[in-house]
Structure 1
Amino acid sequence: MTTSAWVGERVRLRAREPEDWEAFLAFEEDSDAVRAAWRLHPPRSAAQAKKTMAEEAEQELDLDEFSLVIAGKQDNAPVGAIVTHDVQRHHGTFLYGISVGSRHHRKGYASEAIVLLLRYMFFERRFQKAEAWVYSYNDASLALHRRMGFVEEGRRRRSHYANGRYHDEVIFGMTMEEYTERYA
């Protein structure tokens, strides 16, 4: 039996496909979830969503900075996305962000996607530390990162504006050794 480094018990991480546009457009309807992930945008048309997803599906993936769909293992339908960014090869560090559609919360998709992503970045790409910056009002993500063993390393005060207020960003980190001790 063939196994993939991108497949867990519940999810598979995969590239975007043009037909994913409907799921991601539907995720944008939940303003609170959108704010928790980054920032609220004006509504997009179906035509814009189709075009954007088709263009993203055609882009060549970078080995270190990329965006992947978190899909349900059984039906391959999108439940969210996970991205790497702010890669610092010289230092061996990177940031990642994750967003899961509200109706898919609390099913283990986010934690499994993070474990799969970190395994790739640590053991295939030789990074030594992952960081996640979580908005202070995102209680679910704060709890997730603490539960997964991330260390709270600091706080960027009043650095994010959403829903009429300034919020802190909580900085979490996990080293390869911490990951290995817990997940490998």
Structure 2
Amino acid sequence: MHKTLFIAIFFLFLGNTVVFAQTKAVTQKAVKDSLKSNNIDPLTPAKAAFYSAVLPGLGQAYNKKYWKIPLVYGAIGTSLYFYIDSNNKYHQYRDAYKRRLEGYSDDKFSYLDNNRLITAQKFYQRNRDLSSLFVLGFYALNIIDANVDAALIQFNVNEKLSVQPIVYPDGVTFKANVGLTLNYNF
């Protein structure tokens, strides 16, 4: 009795192993065929990042996400505008302060004392420096966005997601175990 049960379980386990191996081989072949049919290029994210580094927004155009180009130029352009404006005002207050130190009082900021000119210089210098960080940050964000977007475009999103109940024998006690597998076929 025990011998026949052991032999039956052995062949059942051996049969499941063979079926599993065949299923795995078929799955691997399907994955390779899927990769060939989707024409996945692993260099696409690098190309998109390079294009965005050369000219901001070009990586987004390469990824065919044209709606992002105005956002890129808007963010970089606004930051650049504030950089230029703060830099000009910083130089105006600095030049006025230098002229005051030389003894002239005919500048357009005659209503301000020297401490106010120094405070204005520091204020606009800080704003200029922050604006330059924003320009660099948005430029880097442009490159990162193009790279990540190109990498995510290559993912195959379809209805091949499945949940299957499975019964398999325990390796030690040979009792039937019930499990639930979540399969995603790439």
Which structure's relative contact order is higher, taking Cα pairs within 8 Å and 6+ residues apart?
2
Q: TM-score, normalising length from structure 2?
A: 0.18
Bigger Cα Rg: 2
Q: TM-score, normalising length from structure 1?
A: 0.19
Q: More helix per residue: 1 or 2?
A: 2
Q: More strand per residue: 1 or 2?
A: 1
